[in-house]
Amino acid sequence: MTICVVDGRGGGLGSRMVEGLRGVVADGHTIIGVGLNRVSAEAMARAGATAIETVPQSIRRRLHAADMIVGSLSLLMPGSMLGEVTPVLVRAVLDSQAKKMLLPVNTRKVEVVGAEGRTLDALIDHAVQRIAFLLRPTA
């Protein structure tokens, strides 16, 4: 399974997600750090991503081939992450056949009902646990 962790800005969410996934992802699974800038990509590389990507055309190919895309809800909001989320990126995320695991973290004043009151740490922990569950082989 190929998991693309997408993040921008300083890569704080992405690097923490990669680090958490490293603890639960077995050999044979690939974690790609998709950085919307070089700083975020390097943060995910330091956290243990199998590979990183920053080139827009390559990002679209990676997302298209991914089995799972992980990031914040902001990935669906053009202009978010200081403008790093482009309409082309949003379309690439939505067009991918991958399962999307989006954390309800954003600064665009969008409220996801039912997701109130969780810290970023709690959201990351929950997402890692959910991904670990989804990666378990079925008997």
Could you tell me the CATH number of the domain that includes residue 17? 3.40.50
Is 90 exceeded by the pLDDT of residue 136? Answer: no
**Lowest mean pLDDT: which of 41-45, 119-123, 125-129?**
119-123
Cα 113 to chain centroid, rounded:
21
Domain count for the chain: 1
34: containing domain: 2-135
Is 60 exceeded by the pLDDT of residue 139? Answer: no
Whether pTM exceeds 0.75: yes
Is 60 exceeded by the pLDDT of residue 98? Answer: yes
- In the chain, DSSP assigns E strands to 2-7, 30-35, 51-53, 68-72, 99-103
